[in-house]
């Protein structure tokens, strides 16, 4: 491993989904892991048989006191945090017009501000040791704004921007940053971590309504395998030159690739207009 032979992984949101699968893989590999959930009882089973190198903690990433206490306990137990995986988060779907203010802010508190607070809490130790890896779980929605997922996409776009900036800030300090962009995977995300506000406005039924209906009925049919997904994440962290962006799943790979091509084509088509906004060369 590029970090060290026995790294300490700190993983948020381990009760189900990617977080749980990743925690299990890390522990099977013989590494140390801090596994967290809002209720530590929901992840206590992950430590069974690994009590000497696993620590289960209660953590609500929207509560700064929780974050600071968890990081302190992890560093006290294991001496360091080598890999932070910001996995805690959830989805909220609605039309932009019908989005509920409280729900929108709550999603940003978890998906963006909680992730940023966790990162700030772990960075001092990583800086002191001049090593570490921060893995931020984003989504294909971090590139593609699907109808009905505008607010969720906004949180993941924010994660992408934060990750890109952070990678430039910490690269000279020996710290790596990887933003993971999964497509649809066969977890219980739709049933557990997705909140929907079905459109009441008829004009949105054929776009937002159809998208929300399809999402709700897709659970259990997704092509992505969460076990293979976390194996890919570990492979990226182990790499000497890890990717800044790790796309997971064929649907995300195709969708993000098409989005980038379309964006580049549009930028190039309007390049003359873009350049026309500058002062003329003679006036610079």
Residue 138 annotated as catalytic: yes
191: pLDDT strictly greater than 90? no
Among candidate residues 156, 163, 176, 204, the one labeled active-site is: 156
* Mean pLDDT, residues 51-73: 98
- For residue 110, what pLDDT is reported? 97
Describe the chain by its helix, strand, coil percentages, rounded to 5. 55, 15, 30
Among candidate residues 15, 94, 138, 139, the one labeled active-site is: 138
- For residue 192, what pLDDT is reported? 60
DSSP for residue 208: I
pLDDT digits (tens, 9 = 90+) for 94-145: 999 999 999 999 999 999 999 999 999 999 999 999 999 999 999 999 999 9
Residue 279 annotated as catalytic: no
The rounded distance, in Å, linking the Cα atoms of 278 and 284 is 9
Q: 168-189: string of b/e by CB count within 10 Å (b at 16+)?
A: eebeeeebbbbbbbbbbbbbeb
Domains of the chain: 8-253 (3.40.50.720)
Strands 132-137 and 245-248 turn out to be unpaired
- For residue 174, what pLDDT is reported? 97
- For residue 138, what pLDDT is reported? 97
Among candidate residues 139, 152, 167, 176, the one labeled active-site is: 152
Q: Count of CB atoms within 10 A of residue 280's CB?
A: 7
**Listed range (182-196, 229-243, 256-270) with the worst mean pLDDT:** 182-196
Tell me the two tokens of residue 17.
């989904």
């Amino acid at each position: 491993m590029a970090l060290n032979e026995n790294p300490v992984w700190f993983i948020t949101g381990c009760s189900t989904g990617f977080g749980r699968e990743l925690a299990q893989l890390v522990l099977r590999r013989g590494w140390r892991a801090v596994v967290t959930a809002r209720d530590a009882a929901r992840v206590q089973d992950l430590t069974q048989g690994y009590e000497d190198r696993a620590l289960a903690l209660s953590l609500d990433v929207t509560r700064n006191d929780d974050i600071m206490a968890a990081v302190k306990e992890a560093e006290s137990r294991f001496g360091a945090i080598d890999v932070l995986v910001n996995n805690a988060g959830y989805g909220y779907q609605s039309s932009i017009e019908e989005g509920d203010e409280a729900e929108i802010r709550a999603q940003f508190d978890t998906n963006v501000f909680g992730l940023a607070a966790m990162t700030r809490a772990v960075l001092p130790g990583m800086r002191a040791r001049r090593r570490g890896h921060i893995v931020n779980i984003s989504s294909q929605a971090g590139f593609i704004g699907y109808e009905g997922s505008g607010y969720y996409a906004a949180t993941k776009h924010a994660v992408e921007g934060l990750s890109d900036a952070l990678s430039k800030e910490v690269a000279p300090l020996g710290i790596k940053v990887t933003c993971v962009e999964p497509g649809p995977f066969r977890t219980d995300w739709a049933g557990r971590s997705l909140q929907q506000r079905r459109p009441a406005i008829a004009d949105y039924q054929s776009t937002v309504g159809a998208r929300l209906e399809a999402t709700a009925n897709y659970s259990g049919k997704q092509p992505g395998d969460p076990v293979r997904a976390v194996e890919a994440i570990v492979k990226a962290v182990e790499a000497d030159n890890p990717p800044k962006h790790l796309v997971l799943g064929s649907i995300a790979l195709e969708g993000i690739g098409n989005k980038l091509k379309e964006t580049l084509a549009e930028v190039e088509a309007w390049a003359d207009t873009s350049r026309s906004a500058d002062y003329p060369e003679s006036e610079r």
